[in-house]
Structures are given as C-alpha cells and as structure tokens.
C-alpha cells in the first residue's frame, strides 16, 4: 500500500513538473537558470532522502522471509550464526552515516572503545539509523 502511495506521489510530482516546464521555458536566461537549479536541488534532496530512508516495502522479504535480522544479531543476541560485525558489514560495502551516530558512541569510537568485531555494535548502529540504505525495525524488548 505504501509503495503504491509513493508511486502515485512520484507520478504526480512528475506530472506537475512537466506542466511547469512550458512556464519556465518562457522565463529569461538567468531567471530560467535559477528556477532550473532550484528544481534540480529539490530533486537531488528528495532522491537522497529516498535512498537513505525508504524501505520500498521490502521489510517482509528481508525480515519475514530471509530473517536477516537473526543473521545480523547472531546466536549470542538471540539470532542465528556468528552475527554481523560492523567490520564485516563495512567490508561488504555498507556505509555508516557519521552524522547519525549518537555523540557518546562517536566519542567512544574515536577513543577506540567500541568493539567493531561485535554484532552488538552493528545493532547499535542500526538502532541509531546510522547504516546507509538499511532501516532496522526492533521488537519492543529491543534485543534485535
């Protein structure tokens, strides 16, 4: 349902912007350049927001069918297998948004006090919504 709503919203924005093109085409050179730059900036910001936070409704696949959360947590934290440490996640290509890391964690990281081989550290980053392109959903007890 959410995906359909987003699709309709995106189509509406596209339709609206295509109706504005003839109006902006009548503008003078500098005025047109300014309007085009502002529109491009808005689209870029919307794209970043989508890339960074949108799950595209795939939670059931990753969590329900593949049970990825159990593999990330590992046996020690109630999941399966060895878990996924931040070190391994970074090797796999995942990125961390340093601006989303809580200040106390960032300070501990800079002092070398965070175990980057512990899957619990990965869960901490997911809870802080600091892993780019991945959104964690946690149970009420917040174990995983």
Domain spans in the chain, listed from the N-terminal domain onward: 2-53, 59-127
Contact 93, 132 (CB under 8 A): no
3-state helix, strand, coil in the chain (%, to 5): 65, 0, 35
Structure token pair of residue 15: 């339709």
Which residues, at least 6 apart from 68, have a Cβ–Cβ distance to it below 8 Å? 62
Residue 121, Cβ neighbours under 10 Å: how many? 21
Q: What is the per-residue pLDDT across 87-141, written as a single tens digit (0 to 9) for each?
A: 999 999 999 998 999 899 999 989 999 999 999 999 999 999 999 888 888 877 6
* pLDDT score, position 54: 85
Q: What is the per-residue pLDDT across 59-92, written as a single tens digit (0 to 9) for each?
A: 889 888 989 899 999 999 999 999 999 999 999 9
């Amino acid at each position: 349902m959410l995906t359909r709503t987003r699709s309709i919203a995106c189509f509406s924005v596209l339709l609206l912007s295509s109706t504005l093109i003839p109006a902006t085409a009548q503008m003078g050179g500098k005025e047109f350049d300014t309007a085009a730059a502002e529109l491009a900036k808005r689209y870029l910001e919307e794209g970043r927001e989508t890339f960074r936070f949108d799950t595209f409704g795939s939670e059931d696949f990753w969590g329900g069918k593949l049970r990825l959360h159990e593999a990330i947590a590992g046996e020690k934290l109630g999941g399966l297998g060895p878990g996924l440490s931040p070190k391994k996640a970074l090797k796999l290509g995942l990125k961390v948004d340093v601006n989303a890391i809580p200040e106390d964690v960032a300070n501990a990281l800079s002092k070398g006090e965070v175990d980057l081989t512990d899957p619990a550290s990965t869960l901490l980053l997911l809870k802080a919504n600091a892993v780019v392109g991945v959104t964690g959903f946690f149970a009420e007890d917040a174990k995983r």
